Structure 1
Amino acid sequence: MRQRRVPTFPTERFLRRFASFSEIGQTEDGAIHRPFGSDADLAARAWLMRLAKEVGMSVSVDAVGNIWGVLPGKADTGAIVIGSHHDSVPNGGRFDGPLGVLMAIEVIQSLAESGYENEHPLAFVSFTAEEPNPFDLSTLGSRSVAGRLTQEKLLAAADWNGRPLTEAVDAAGGDLHAFATVRKTADDIAAFLELHIEQGRRLETRGIPIGVVTGICGIYREWIRVTGEANHAGTTRQADRHDALLASSEMLLAVERLLTAWDDDELIATIGRLNVIPNAMNIIPGECEWGLEIRGGDMDKVYRFRDACFEAFDEITARRGVEYGRQPLLDQGAQPMAADVIDVLHDALAGLAIPYLDLASMAGHDATHIASFTRAGMLFVPSIGGKSHCKEEESRIEDIEHAFYVLASAAIALDSKLTSADEVTHEETV
């Protein structure tokens, strides 16, 4: 199955490391609680830096706390970087993030041990605060690297208890006052690869071990406020009611009805937060606020679905005698992965005779932001039962082994194909 020069996957070593790392932030019931800024986050950072130094990498922490480990190449060129993140959602799983970070170290170490002489520097990265966190700054590390956050915003940020972000970043080894040094370009990162669990069931359902990510979904969010009329719950006749909660309930069900009718694997919508005002047992709800999120690989579809939702909302609110207002919150376009990196991954899979599926990611990832300024590619391994962000999160070692060989093959191919001229002149993704 292995191509020439690709090292053998050290299964026992990888599993031993993975089990050890999974103990950091583990709860009594087996979940992982390792949010950014926590003691477990700091312990995970120390563990990763210690391992990277042991395998011969030079290790550094940038101004926002991203951890970089570099194995120098024969040429002073942009690095081929492999990585993901080490933090978790509250009470999450073992695989989301750490699989990609530990595999990055494993690929680089195994290539070096096999005697492979890399032209480009080979590097791993563990990005800071990929997951939502108390500072309300998800993908903090990768967005900073891509120039999508400002120093002003970060210096002013604090968590829900008032702890300054500067304090958490300082504890992680960073320094927001040196924020300007974080930004990287295609001259610094010649190519980026990220391995991640799928967090869905598209691969598992089809019995396919590897997914090649063609792009990462766009995300559209609006905050909706439905205004009816608060009144006495006992004395107001049904015919005289203008119930904001019931109107909202019908609007939410309309979103579900439209999703069912569209029947598209790469389009999804969610209402994940709802406030009822005044939220009392004996008062008809006068206001109801909620957030609508739509995700899709094709933004034209996202916008058409949004418009269909609001057409349905217009009819419902008119019929029920209530009004609604809209506040757009996020309009983040879909981000394609680099065509030449996808080709390299396809070639590696073909050479290894591993079945694969091209698919769009319906979750956001660090690769979204790195792909905005340099070549980036991404692989998925199946999630058993589609489970993620929970303690039941699991992927099979057989699929993880496939991913190792694909990443190692792709790193070798990129190291050979990317010349200095390519790194400077390639067309950046937008």
Structure 2
Amino acid sequence: MCYLKKPTINGARLQRKIEELGQFGKNEKGGLDRTTFTSAELAAREWLQTQCVSLGLDVKCDPAANIWAFRNGRQPLPAISFGSHMDTVPNGGMYDGALGVLIALEVMERLNEERIETRHPFALVSFTAEEPNPFGLSTFGSRAVAGKLTKQDLEGVTDDNELLLTEALRQAGGDPDRFEDTHALAPSLSAYLEVHIEQGKRLVTSSIPVGIVSGITGIYRERVTVTGDANHAGTTVMVERKDALAAAAEVVVAVEQAAAEMQAEEVVATVGTLDVRPNAANIIPGQVEMVVEIRGKTSAEIDAVRHALNSQIAERARRRGVSIKQETFLSQRPVPMDKLLIDTLAEQADSLGYKTLTLGSMAGHDAAHLAAVTRSGMLFVPSIGGKSHCPEEASALCDIEAAANVLFHALLKLDQNLDQKGTDTR
């Protein structure tokens, strides 16, 4: 559904840039293979930097290979930053991450065209390796800025072709020897704003063009190992079996039930991987390893699902005579977005006549890590059909324009209201 409102952003130009960037890494299936540090991703980096230089921006690459493009302000204040990421999942779409970077580029161009001078420096940023990648380090660039990654975390890390992460980083313009200097950028930021596709159906189902993100989901992951007794599938009678896969199947259902019984829209749980051993047709499975993931907008919701699941797992282990081991390997707390940024985005959307929906993000984003070091906020653009991480990923241009216009005016309002320390001066 399209909405005709006060024009600010040049939508036609923005659409052309979306299509132009969408050629980098395009495969025969129509999707994008622009994984971090591939030739396609490196070419996209070069393209972006050329675009930024053409606008007169001061382009820098930090030690984590994040691309920063600065537009000067009148005063020596911390920069107001905005952007996202350009890397994709395998066979991904043109909008995830890239849209936020391209909207940031369009904002810079419109500021130039309108000859708008700002108090704060404005900074476009494209973060390195937001998506899962062959090096096993997602949200890489934003975690580096937040001080959550160290030089030691890079040592010895390789991809499937034995390429060292440190070498790939150098090829992209980073500097692993000075990696921890990336965190030194944090005090120079007064705020970070990110426009992103929703990757779900809530906005498009509600026919609302702009989503204002209240917070970013917490993510809990544990490795569950079910150990039974591998034995001959033909000669072991049913009452004597300790089938690890049958027990694991019950755990999978228990995961689904534990989340569903919460009856909360923003609580989900998933088993996305199963490793069955010995994985032979004529052998009763002796061991199964799976990964359980729970997401929720509050820690209490995640803990409630975990508690219910733990009880179910213990009961199934006793009944089936198997052992079940649980090992936590990720516990990322929910991250609220900054109230001033939420309010500013809502006010500007209202002034432009756009309906908004305040909602939590059920996916992780760079903004979650930036929230540890500066004010952080997000806008969502409706995803057609709720599709993402696939070639069919798309958003309507009118909805893209709506979010871009809100961002543009919110940035100018924040430029007026934030002081030297990023404090609201209203």
TM-score when normalising by structure 1:
0.96
* Paired position in structure 1 for 2:370: 370
Residue 303, structure 1, aligned to residue 303, structure 2 = yes
Name the counterpart of 2:170: 170
- 2:285 corresponds to which residue? 285
1:123 shift after superposition: 0.9
Instruction: Answer yes or no: is the 8 Å Cα contact 1:78–1:186 preserved in 2.
Output: no
Say yes or no: does 1:153 pair with 2:176: no
1:402 maps to 402
Gaps of 5+ in 2: none
Residue equivalent to 1:247: 247
Could you tell me how far apart the structure 2 residues matched to 1:117 and 1:193 are? 19
Amino acid at match of 1:90: P
Range that drifts further, 260-269 or 222-231: 260-269
Q: In the alignment, which residue of structure 2 is the partner of 1:324?
A: 324
Please identify runs of 4+ aligned residues in structure 1 that moved more than 4 A.
Answer: none
Mapped pair 1:271 → 2:276: no
Could you tell me which residue of structure 1 aligns to residue 415 of structure 2?
Answer: 415
Distance in structure 2 (CA, Å) of the matches to 1:403 and 1:161? 40
2:14 corresponds to which residue? 14
> Equivalent residue of 2:261, what SS?
helix
Q: Is the 1:61–1:173 Cα contact (8 Å) retained in structure 2?
A: yes
CA distance in 1, matches of 2:242, 2:115: 74
Contact 2:147 2:180 in 1 (8 A): no
Q: CA deviation at 1:186?
A: 5.2
Report the residue type matching 2:213 in the other structure.
V
CA displacement 1:269-304 (0-9 Å, x = unmatched): 111111111111111001111000001110111011
2:208 & 2:184 partners in 1: Cα distance? Answer: 35
For 1:73, the equivalent position in structure 2 comes to: 73
Matches for 1:345-360 after TM superposition, within 5 Å = 345-360=345-360
What is residue 256 of structure 1 aligned with on the other side?
Answer: 256
Counterpart-to-counterpart distance in 2, 1:412 and 1:184: 26
**How many angstroms does 1:187 deviate by?**
3.1
CA distance, structure 2, for counterparts of residue 155 and residue 247 of structure 1: 39
Deviation at 1:154?
1.2
Asked if the contact 1:185–1:374 (Cα under 8 Å) also holds between the matched residues in 2, the reply is no
Give the superposition deviation at 1:11: 1.6
TM-superposed CA distance for 1:112, in Å, is 2.1
Q: Distance in 2 between matches of 1:313 and 1:109?
A: 56
Where does residue 109 of structure 2 map in the other structure? Answer: 109
CA gap 1:349/1:184 in 2 versus in 1, 3 angstroms: farther
Question: In structure 2, what is the equivalent of residue 361 of structure 1?
Answer: 361
For structure 1, list consecutive stretches of 5 or more residues without a partner in the other structure.
none
Is residue 2–residue 405 contact of structure 1 (8 Å, CA) maintained in 2? no
Q: Does 1:383 align with 2:383?
A: yes
Q: Give the letter for the 2:33 counterpart.
A: H
Alignment deviations for residues 332-379 of structure 1 (CA, whole Å, 9 cap, x no partner)? 111111111111111101111111111110000000100111101100
Match of 1:213 in 2: 213
Query: 3-state DSSP class of the match of 1:73?
Result: coil
Aligned residues: 421
C-alpha separation between the residues in 2 aligned to 1:155 and 1:283?
41
TM-score by length of structure 2 reads 0.97
- 1:161 positional shift: 2.6
Paired position in structure 1 for 2:40: 40
